[in-house]
Amino acid sequence: MLAIGVDAGGTATRAVVTTLDGRCVGYGVAGRGNPVSAGRPSAVGAVLEAVGAATVSAGRALSEVSVIAAAVAGQPASGAGAESLQAELSAAGFTGRVVFESDLLATYFSATASGNGYAVVSGTGACAIRVAEGRIEATADGLGWLLGDRGSGFWIGQRVAEAAIRDLDGVGRMTALTRAVLDHLGIDPQPRPGAERSPELEELVSALYALPPIELASLAPLAFRCVEDPVAAGILRRAGERLAESLLAVLTEPGPLVVGGGVLFRSGPVRDAFTGRLGGSADRLDVIPVEDGVVGAGLLALRAGGLPPTREALARLTETLALVRRSSVHGAPL
């Protein structure tokens, strides 16, 4: 018998096939699977694609899989997305059970098997959770790009765009982000003498409004690239502080703190400001960065099959997944 864990993220969807003792025997990747940012039909498609790729990589059939845990943002445990996923998996020969879990819980269990602790995830969106007895007990933020997601990739990218615009508009500080944003968007206009505003500014504003708003998150990496620039560093520091504030809103007892998502994973101004803003609370936390939530999704699949997360299963799945990833046929960085 096998279990499959799927981590449906804002930029990629990853699936792991595991034996009941936590040995990874297959792994697959597909496009973005976050139902909020990708739209529900394409999210279901990404989950199916990742599951398919993982079973092919395992050389096994879907009929051998007894449970699939789909860790997705917003936990669509009911509704059209859940039904259509179950229906499509059945059509592909799957006879087992699908359970839906939070992508945040998958990130959490990718780094620890402890039933009690915290996770702060900042990718395209941002959220903090408190985990108690293996379930999410409290959540802060995770409210989406329009209303929250403070300290997320979107939040950073929007501020990068604003910094470039305010520089070009002559009301903000000069910043290396301006050139970086213009280059990123391929904007290189001809000078127009006598124009009321710089032609770069008008082209930049038009280009940004032509994108779906969530795509501002694609500007976040520019802040990390311009980290020597005071404006960029300031944005990153404020992102770290906002993320710490979300964590502080759910923080009670000491425990492991899993930090996930591209924004918090690397060291630098975000992590420094995050730790600084936590102050004394940081000493009571065992901080573990984690790259994605696929191992935790695997553990959640095993839990749905009656096997609660253990240190041993976590370690085994992490190690064997690394081996499978390394030996992937294409050798492409995943």
Interacting residues with a second copy (CB under 8 A): 136-141, 143-144, 146-148, 158, 161-162, 165, 169-171, 196-197, 205, 208-209, 213, 216, 245-246, 249
Pairwise CA distance, residues 121 & 168, whole Å: 33
For residue 171, the minimal CB distance to a second copy (Å) is 4
Collapsing DSSP states into helix, strand and coil, what is residue 137? strand
For residue 162, the minimal CB distance to a second copy (Å) is 6
- Helix crossing, 153-168 with 176-184: angle to 10°? 110
For residue 31, the minimal CB distance to a second copy (Å) is 22
For residue 166, the minimal CB distance to a second copy (Å) is 8
Task: Give just the sign of the alpha carbon dihedral 98, 104, 109, 110.
Answer: positive
The neighbour count for residue 102, using CB atoms within 10 Å, is 26
Pairwise CA distance, residues 242 & 201, whole Å: 29
For residue 262, the minimal CB distance to a second copy (Å) is 22
Pairwise CA distance, residues 127 & 264, whole Å: 12
Please identify, using beta-carbon distances, which residue of 147 and 329 lies nearer to a second copy.
147
Please identify, using beta-carbon distances, which residue of 109 and 154 lies nearer to a second copy.
154
Contacts of 251 (CB under 8 A, 6+ apart): 118, 130, 281
Please identify, using beta-carbon distances, which residue of 203 and 319 lies nearer to a second copy.
203
Pairwise CA distance, residues 228 & 235, whole Å: 12
Please identify, using beta-carbon distances, which residue of 74 and 254 lies nearer to a second copy.
74
Please identify, using beta-carbon distances, which residue of 205 and 287 lies nearer to a second copy.
205
